[in-house]
């Protein structure tokens, strides 16, 4: 940013202190009264040169003052240099913000593999599934936007003893309902029934295990049953993913690795990474100092487990995509598991690229218990429907003040957006709170507020008969409201980088919220359409850029924004 300022400062430091390539960092002060941009470089140099930081800062300020892009430079605090830029320099700099609204061309080379959503088959998506689903999708969107290729994979849980249990339950209590007619809800009911009955009759567990073993061995009837179960679930999932604007490049469920585990097990044995454990199981032992408990890779009866499939999955991904990183967007509950998995990969000497568990906290509800075993899960679909219904009521209650030709579509956009934004706006590293009022607020840090602000900006442009307005080339002054909006707009490129590098979507939601506030303050204080000609064109350009940033940011977050509302 501000390349001319940067090179000017370097030039001064070179000339004054003989230091060649000093790394100058610039920050944007929190308050407008500290200028547009500030650097702590004088304090950094003071140590090196054993000089007074304030003296260095004042030399720097004095010389920077002469730069054509600088309006004023001052020393502040223990040795900061605060710089106010000329209006035109600020406006010119906005070209970076504009560029950041367009996705970069995808570079060739190593992609980032993102493993997200990954629900278990034969169960409806619960509200908690939205976490991995949307966080993973947003990370993918951010990477692609920055020009990095992404391979998005849905590692669905479509393999394991639960399918044996389900087959037994269907045989016993399915009451002859043809599989074609079954819904995921029916499958869940069977699964719950199985667990209830198994508490009374211990032999059921065993029957389930046997059935799974037969499935693994290729029993045709069981295989056909299992295929239908998977198809029914994927179809229902597809509807939800479409509503959420979530897509995958591949749905490679755990079953996909069925044939790929054998060579991995053989390799692990040969390399003495997999060792005989209790009762003939095969385990990975970790060095004492890692503090990791041993992990089973093969059960005593020879059955493979989650870990076995994940090891084969790592191998497959490395061989197939040669990725620069593999991100696992999974609940914090699996933190230990992923440490064991990654450590096993290390021991196998696969020389993996970066493997990262992008974890997120639990979802907390004031009033609902979210156990899947008992069958009383809060379904994601229900939550979305409820949110859309509430959004519809909100639209209705606002009456004339809401302008939309399609209030049904608007309610869907707002309701689904509200739930998604409600999740993404919280730091994933802590627990996530589900709160209806906050999500649907028109004023707070919410999707409706963002959507409303976008529609407001578009409405101004519509009235001016403009759609995309270029930035003016001659701007001599900026009002306070304009300057503050410009300052916020300037931050967009860095915010994208920060959200991406930390894998933190809330950094972006937070910024968009600030941008909405800055735009609304600007809108309320500065006449746009009534302003005189040159001011009007600047204000329209800022309005147009705000709309572009809001739309781009919202879409990266999987949201949609209306032109009217």
Q: Check: CB of residue 5 under 8 Å from CB of residue 70.
A: yes
Q: What b/e readout covers 380-396, taking b as 16+ CB neighbours within 10 angstroms?
A: bbebbeebbebbbebbe
- Provide the minimum distance between the beta carbon of 188 and ligand ARG in the complex, in angstroms, as a whole number: 14
Site string for ligand ARG, 363-402 (x = CB under 6 A): ----------------------------------------
Using the minimum distance from each CB to ligand ARG, give the nearer residue, 381 or 497: 381
- Does residue 526 bind ligand ARG (CB under 6 A)? no
- Provide the minimum distance between the beta carbon of 336 and ligand ARG in the complex, in angstroms, as a whole number: 13
- Provide the minimum distance between the beta carbon of 335 and ligand ARG in the complex, in angstroms, as a whole number: 12
Using the minimum distance from each CB to ligand ARG, give the nearer residue, 216 or 254: 254
- Does residue 152 bind ligand ARG (CB under 6 A)? no
Using the minimum distance from each CB to ligand ARG, give the nearer residue, 166 or 394: 166
Output the six-digit token pair for 436. Answer: 């209806």
Which one among 118, 387, 413, 440 touches ligand ARG, defined by CB under 6 A?
A: 118
Closest CA to 448 of 518, 513, 514: 513
Give, in degrees to the nearest 5, the angle at Cα 13 between 12 and 18: 120
Give, in degrees to the nearest 5, the angle at Cα 438 between 435 and 439: 80
Using the minimum distance from each CB to ligand ARG, give the nearer residue, 172 or 325: 325
Going by the DSSP 8-state scheme, the letter that residue 471 receives in this structure is P
- How far CA 208 is from CA of 174, 193, 549, in Å, comes to 15, 13, 54
DSSP alpha helices (H): ranges in 50-107?
Answer: 53-64, 87-100
Residues whose CB falls within 8 Å of the CB of residue 47, separated by 6 or more in sequence, listed in order: none
- Does residue 125 bind ligand ARG (CB under 6 A)? no
Burial (CB < 10 A; 0-12, 13-18, 19+), residue 449, is: buried
Beta bridge partners of 355: 326
- Rounded CA-CA distance 359/284 in Å is 23
Cβ neighbour number for residue 480 with a 10 Å cutoff: 12
- Rounded CA-CA distance 111/92 in Å is 33
Site string for ligand ARG, 423-462 (x = CB under 6 A): ----------------------------------------
Longest alpha-carbon distance in the chain: 89
Which one among 157, 415, 422, 448 touches ligand ARG, defined by CB under 6 A?
A: 157
**Torsion angles phi and psi, residue 306, rounded to 5:** -45, -50
Site for ligand ARG in 96-115 (CB under 6 A): 115
Q: Give the 3-state secondary structure of 106-170.
A: CCCCCCEEEECCCCECCCCCECCHHHHHHHHHHHHHHHHHCCCCEEEECCCECCCHHHHHHHHHH
Site for ligand ARG in 293-322 (CB under 6 A): 310, 313
- Does residue 158 bind ligand ARG (CB under 6 A)? no
Number of residues in contact with ligand ARG, rule: CB under 6 A? 10
Using the minimum distance from each CB to ligand ARG, give the nearer residue, 155 or 428: 155
Using the minimum distance from each CB to ligand ARG, give the nearer residue, 119 or 448: 119
- Provide the minimum distance between the beta carbon of 205 and ligand ARG in the complex, in angstroms, as a whole number: 21
- Does residue 253 bind ligand ARG (CB under 6 A)? no
- Does residue 543 bind ligand ARG (CB under 6 A)? no
Site for ligand ARG in 17-36 (CB under 6 A): none
Which one among 120, 347, 441, 479 touches ligand ARG, defined by CB under 6 A?
A: 120
- Does residue 155 bind ligand ARG (CB under 6 A)? yes
Using the minimum distance from each CB to ligand ARG, give the nearer residue, 17 or 316: 316
Torsion of CA 503, 342, 118, 250, to 10 degrees: 90
Using the minimum distance from each CB to ligand ARG, give the nearer residue, 341 or 450: 341
CA 436, 439, 443, 447 torsion-angle sign? negative
- Rounded CA-CA distance 358/343 in Å is 16
Q: Check: CB of residue 497 under 8 Å from CB of residue 104.
A: no
Which one among 170, 328, 421, 492 touches ligand ARG, defined by CB under 6 A?
A: 328
- Select the span of 40-48, 118-126, 349-357, 388-396 touching ligand ARG (CB under 6 A): 118-126
- Does residue 551 bind ligand ARG (CB under 6 A)? no
* Backbone Cα Rg of the chain: 29
Beta bridge partners of 331: 360
Please state the separation of Cα 271 from the chain's center in Å: 38
Which one among 130, 150, 184, 330 touches ligand ARG, defined by CB under 6 A?
A: 330
- Provide the minimum distance between the beta carbon of 122 and ligand ARG in the complex, in angstroms, as a whole number: 12
- Provide the minimum distance between the beta carbon of 370 and ligand ARG in the complex, in angstroms, as a whole number: 13
Q: Which residues bind ligand ARG (CB under 6 A)?
A: 115, 118-120, 155, 157, 310, 313, 328, 330
């Amino acid at each position: 940013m501000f390349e001319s300022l940067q090179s000017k400062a370097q030039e001064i430091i070179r000339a004054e202190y003989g230091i060649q390539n000093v790394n100058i960092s610039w920050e944007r002060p929190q308050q407008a009264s500290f200028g547009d941009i500030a650097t702590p470089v004088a304090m950094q140099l003071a140590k090196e040169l054993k000089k007074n930081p304030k003296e260095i800062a004042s030399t720097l300020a004095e010389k920077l003052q002469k730069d054509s892009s600088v309006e004023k430079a001052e020393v502040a605090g223990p040795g900061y240099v605060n710089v106010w830029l000329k209006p035109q320099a600020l406006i010119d700099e906005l070209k970076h913000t504009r560029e950041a609204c367009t996705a970069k061309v995808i570079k060739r080379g190593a992609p980032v593999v993102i493993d997200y959503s990954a629900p278990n088959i034969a169960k409806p998506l619960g509200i908690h599934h939205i976490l991995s689903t949307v966080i993973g999708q947003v990370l993918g969107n951010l990477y692609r936007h920055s020009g990095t290729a992404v391979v998005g994979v849905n590692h669905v849980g479509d393999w394991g003893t639960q399918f044996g249990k389900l087959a037994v339950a269907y045989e016993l209590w399915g009451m002859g309902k043809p599989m074609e007619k079954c819904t995921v809800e029916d499958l869940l009911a069977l699964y719950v029934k199985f667990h209830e009955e198994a508490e009374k009759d211990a032999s059921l567990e065993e029957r389930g295990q046997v059935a799974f073993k037969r499935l693994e061995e290729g029993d045709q009837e069981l295989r056909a049953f299992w295929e239908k179960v998977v198809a029914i679930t994927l179809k229902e999932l597809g509807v939800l993913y479409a509503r959420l604007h979530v897509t995958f490049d591949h749905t490679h469920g755990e079953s996909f690795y069925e044939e790929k585990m054998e060579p991995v097990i053989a390799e692990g044995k040969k390399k003495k990474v997999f060792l005989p454990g209790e009762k003939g199981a095969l385990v990975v032992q970790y060095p004492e100092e890692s503090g990791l408990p041993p992990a089973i890779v093969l059960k005593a009866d020879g059955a493979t487990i989650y870990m076995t499939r994940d090891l084969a999955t790592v191998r497959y991904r490395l061989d197939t995509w040669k990725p620069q990183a593999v991100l696992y967007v999974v609940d914090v509950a699996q933190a230990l598991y992923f440490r064991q998995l990654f450590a096993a990969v290390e021991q196998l000497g696969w020389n993996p690229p970066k493997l990262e568990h992008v974890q997120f906290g639990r979802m907390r509800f004031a009033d609902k218990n979210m156990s899947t075993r008992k069958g009383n899960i809060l379904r994601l679909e229900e939550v979305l429907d409820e949110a859309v219904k509430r959004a519809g009521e909100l639209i209705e209650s606002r009456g004339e003040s809401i302008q939309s030709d399609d209030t049904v579509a608007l309610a869907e956009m707002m309701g689904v957006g509200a739930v998604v934004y409600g999740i993404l706006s919280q730091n994933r590293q802590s627990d996530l709170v589900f709160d209806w009022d906050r999500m649907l607020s028109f004023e707070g840090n919410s999707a409706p507020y963002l959507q409303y602000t976008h529609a407001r900006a578009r409405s101004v442009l519509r009235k001016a008969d403009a759609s995309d307005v270029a930035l003016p080339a001659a701007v001599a002054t900026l009002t306070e409201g304009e300057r503050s909006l410009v300052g916020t707009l300037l931050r967009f490129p860095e915010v994208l980088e920060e959200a991406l590098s930390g894998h933190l979507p809330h950094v972006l939601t937070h910024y968009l919220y600030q941008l909405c506030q800055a735009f609304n303050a600007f809108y309320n204080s500065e006449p746009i359409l009534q302003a005189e000609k040159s001011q009007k064109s600047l204000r329209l350009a800022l309005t147009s850029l705000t709309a572009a940033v809001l739309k781009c940011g919202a879409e990266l977050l999987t949201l949609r924004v209306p032109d009217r509302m």
